Amino acid sequence: MKHVLHFFLVAIALLGGGCDTQTARVADTANQEVPPEKKEEDMSELKPPSADSVLYFIYQRDGDGAVSYRVDGGATVSYWYGHAFDLNGKHYFAGFGSKSEGEGPEGENGMMDDPEHVAISQATFTRVEKDGKVEWSKPDTDGYVGEFGRLGRADEVDTSRKAQGYATADGRYVLAVPTRDFMNGEEVQSFALFLFDPDNVDKLRFRQWGYVGSVPVSRENSAACDDSQVMPCVASTGSLTFEPAGEGLPRLKVSSKGTTIASPGKVREMTAADAVTYTFDEASEHYRQ
């Protein structure tokens, strides 16, 4: 009964309590007429959908407000990241989730490519205005847009850096989400890359969203080098820039500063020659060096 009551309350909050299930109302104006100048302000103040509602729309399972919980088959679903952006005159909010393999994994063939990965999912809302109220549309959802992570966990979002986005000339959007990983005494900062294609411009196997790989930008191994007694200590910081490539997907350039290993036991300063460019490979549907 508790689950049913919670679902009812979530539905009321998201769908505005009306009979129209095509839109999710975010703010209640108490039936007051909204002046023109106030409408523009409300549009900018529209709050993103909640994490638990994103998971419910994707997996159709009520988590009683939790942002990570187990579902049928022993898998765990979790909210991962949310991003608001503008494209072709529309304002979107994309909420991403993840699902561990469990006993009933998801994937194109019923199994994920790597059992240590998690399946990435998404719910994408569009901002609309209806009857003088600003709302989120009912989302487009997909339970599998790729997979990443290790040890059954999603890549960790790096909150110290901001996400970056790029709108292509042919109406697509590349999203770079900052992530971080720590393994064998080395911390690596990367960007996880996603491609949004609302008008089906490309012929990729994914529908609206697809995970298109990750690129590292910074490395630091102080936890393993022991003041260069075990190995050379190196540290670099990098930035990601989008380089236009006609109407297609942009090239990605990673420029880094700091130190890197030049040869066994030796370290050197990084220069502009160490910049790395990634291009989109249609065969693998990932960005490659």
Residue 195 scores a pLDDT above 70? yes
Give the dihedral of Cα atoms 247, 190, 92, 64; nearest 10 deg: 150
**Contact assessment for residue 270 and residue 239, using Cβ atoms and an 8 Å cutoff:** no
The pLDDT, as a whole number, for residue 20 is: 36
Q: Assess contact for 234 and 221: CB atoms under 8 A.
A: yes
Q: What is the pLDDT of residues 215-255, one digit of tens each?
A: 999 999 988 887 767 788 999 999 999 999 888 899 999 99
Question: Roughly how many angstroms between the first and final C-alpha of the chain, as a whole number?
Answer: 53
> How much is the mean pLDDT over the chain?
83
Confidence at residue 175, expressed as pLDDT on a 0 to 100 scale: 98
> 139: closest CA among 153, 127, 157, 156?
127
What was the pLDDT predicted at 23? Answer: 34
pLDDT in tens, 26-66: 332 223 344 444 444 444 578 999 999 999 999 999 899 99
Nearest to 100 by CA among 121, 82, 81, 83: 121
Cα–Cα distances in angstroms (integers) from residue 57 to residues 13, 84, 198, in the given order: 13, 17, 19
Would you list the DSSP string of the chain? -HHHHHHHHHHHHHHTTSS-TTEEE----TTPPPPHHHHHHHHHHPPPPPHHHHHHHHH----TT-SEEE-GGG-EEEEEEEEEEEETTEEEEEEEEEE---SS--STTSS-SSTTSEEEEEEEEEEEEETTEEEEEPPEEES-S-EE-BTTBPPEE-TTS--EEEE-TTS-EEEEEEEEEEETTEEEEEEEEEEE-TT--S--SSSSEEEEEEEEEEEE-HHHHTTTTSS---EEEEEEEEE--TTSPPEEEEEEEEEEEEETTEEEE--GGG-EEEEEETTTTEEE-
pLDDT digits (tens, 9 = 90+) for 67-105: 999 988 889 999 999 999 999 999 999 999 999 987 543
